[in-house]
Amino acid sequence: MKKIKEFKTILKIAQKYKFKILFCFLGIFISSISFALVGYLNGRALEEITKLNLNNAILFLLIYFFTDVIGCILERFSFSKLSKVEVKMARECSYHTYQKVLALPAYAFEEKNSGEFINRITHDTETIVNSFDQIFDIISRLITSLVIYIYICFNSSLIALEIVIFIVIFALVVKYFHPKLEEVNKARKKINDYTVSQVTESIRGIREIKTLGIKNSLFNNLRDLIYQSFNASKREIKINFNYDTISIILKTLLEVGSFITGAILLYYHQISLTFFIAITYYIYRYTWIIENITSFTKTYNDVLVSVSRINEILENKLFPDVKFGNQKLLNCAGVIKFNNVTFSYPKEQAILKNFNITFKPHQKIGIVGKSGQGKTTIFNLLTRVFDTNIGTITIDGINIQDLSEENLRQNIAIIRQEPFLFNKTIKENFLYLDPKITLKEIRKYCKLAYIDDYFMSLPKKYNTILGEGGVNLSGGQKQRLAIARAFAKNSKIILFDEATSALDNESQNYIKKVIDDLVVDHTVLIIAHRLSTIIDADIIYVIDNGEVAAKGTHQELIKKSKIYQQLYKSELQ
């Protein structure tokens, strides 16, 4: 019962297609009944021949032919329609899983590798839904077998008893092998997750891998994973071999036993020739079921593992969703307050401790400090990549956890040190933000970021594909594109997380002018290692050990803050 409950999410999706599935099932049911008649009709035809009733024999053969053809066409038509439903369900299941993955907290992607999420979204969803036709095929054969069994019971209780004994023995065999197959499937999927993750990372970081000269190390790691996968597959093959061997032996015993019993009963005139001929046909229906169930047991274990992995995401068994409120910032002013905030990353000590700070609009605000002191954490909390352990963060007096996700994202733009760019054209990277944005508007934002001239010099201009992670651009070009993309959001709060660190002096000076223009009606926060970026800031906060160690202008901090003095001197050296 517990394992059946695992399928409730999939069954919920199936509810949308219940009438189509019911229609398919009805077609399969009717075709099953027709198949149940075929053996009898074949037997009657042969018996009529032995009695030299040629006309009756031909009549039964014609009925046999049309019944079989209609049954086959109806069955194929039903499975064809079912396949279309499967495709829709797989797409929807994959979509829901992908949607839930995007709603997971950031630490989920630190605890799980990317390959695991990729496999759950793609491979696992298809594994589940593609098993439907097998399930319906088995149901079809079971219906046929049930009708046939009733016919057998009326003609020979002895053969009916043999079939029951066989089914009980086979059920025990399935029960024995089922947990073994489930265990080996779990192990194989886990190894596959790591393999996909490493291959994905290798492709994304191919330039770094080549320049670092670590191709052999990565190859050795992948070879180890493949070796582990091979060992898991080898164990699975051994289990499947034993399972198949026992199934074949049982299947053969049923066939031979039934034929011998039928022959003896026919010899003593306890059954008719029609029934004997029919049983030689019908018994294969039972052995086909055995083959189907043997095959499906392997598939079912794979499906069960996939369902469990999907449910861990869909039902939040591993990680909770990041929850948002329904409030909205109307005419956002951009006043940001951290109120007694304490925060630690999972399994780490607190990086912010009882942290209090207020950021006001219309100011160029710098945030500096040594590495690991909590600067980037401020941005991670403000954008709700992570949530505070204690305390609140407000924008214009509203707790950011009470804001809707759309409203929070709309009002905050962030330009990171390592910006993420899609492997699409330059124009498409903007279209993700606003499908209605025009090329003229895109160029306007790119001009503000001092990158339009470069894009216009390319052969395909704004239709140039950027490559995986923007590999076709330099570090500075990627950051300037990310800045232009942030401008396109038209957010009231703009965060620069080391965003100018990879720019040359000329570009940095231009960006500084752009930032100065933004200050007029935005809240601008700048995390900087290069103090030259924020040397003219209206106010600079020095963060040390998760607290505000000092604040003031550059001139004030040079006089009163030892930490700031050290940072400034290290940059001059």
* Model pLDDT for residues 350-372, shown as the tens digit of each residue: 888 889 999 988 888 999 888 87
Enumerate helices (H) and strands (E) in the chain, giving the number of each: 21, 10
CATH, residue 16: 1.20.1560.10
Angle, alpha carbons 199-205-207 (nearest 5°): 125
How confident is the model over 105-116, as a mean pLDDT? 70
DSSP 353: E
* Least confident stretch, 38-47, 69-78, 293-302: 293-302
Q: Are residues 361 and 494 in the same domain?
A: yes
Q: Are residues 299 and 367 in the same domain?
A: no
How confident is the model over 389-400, as a mean pLDDT? 91
Per-residue pLDDT at 292: 63
Q: Is 368 contained in some domain?
A: yes
Kindly list the strands in the beta sheet with 523-527, ordered across the sheet, starting from the edge strand earlier in the chain.
412-415, 493-497, 523-527, 364-368, 539-544, 547-552
User: By C-alpha distance, which of 338, 377, 374 is closest to 355?
Assistant: 338
Q: Is 543 contained in some domain?
A: yes
Q: Are residues 433 and 552 in the same domain?
A: yes
Q: Are residues 301 and 355 in the same domain?
A: no
Q: Is 328 contained in some domain?
A: no
Are 328 and 404 spatial neighbours (Cβ–Cβ below 8 Å)?
A: yes
Q: Is 320 contained in some domain?
A: no
Per-residue pLDDT at 1: 46
Residue 249 lies in domain: 2-314
Q: Are residues 25 and 158 in the same domain?
A: yes
Q: Is 217 contained in some domain?
A: yes
Number of structural domains found in the chain: 2
* Least confident stretch, 107-111, 148-152, 350-354, 377-381: 107-111
pLDDT tens track for 439-463: 999 999 888 888 898 999 999 999 9
Are 479 and 502 spatial neighbours (Cβ–Cβ below 8 Å)?
A: yes
Per-residue pLDDT at 548: 87
Q: Is 330 contained in some domain?
A: no
CATH, residue 415: 3.40.50.300
How confident is the model over 306-324, as a mean pLDDT? 76
* Residue 121: strand, helix, or coil: helix
Which percentage of the chain shows pLDDT scores above 90? 6
pTM of the model: 0.64
Q: Are residues 265 and 403 in the same domain?
A: no
pLDDT at 206 over 70: no
Bridge partner list, 398: 395
Q: Is 438 contained in some domain?
A: yes
> How far apart are the C-alpha atoms of 523 and 36, rounded to whole Å?
77
Q: Are residues 290 and 362 in the same domain?
A: no
How confident is the model over 507-534, as a mean pLDDT? 78
Q: Are residues 469 and 375 in the same domain?
A: yes
Select the more confidently predicted residue: 568 or 144: 568
Q: Are residues 219 and 356 in the same domain?
A: no
Q: Are residues 286 and 347 in the same domain?
A: no
Q: Is 329 contained in some domain?
A: no
Per-residue pLDDT at 218: 65
Per-residue buried b or exposed e for 537-565, using 16+ beta carbons within 10 Å of the residue's own CB: bebbbbbbebbbbbbbebeebeeebebbe
Per-residue pLDDT at 439: 92
Q: Are residues 95 and 201 in the same domain?
A: yes
Record the tokens describing residue 353, joined without a space.
């401790």
Q: Are residues 490 and 557 in the same domain?
A: yes
Angle, alpha carbons 452-455-459 (nearest 5°): 150
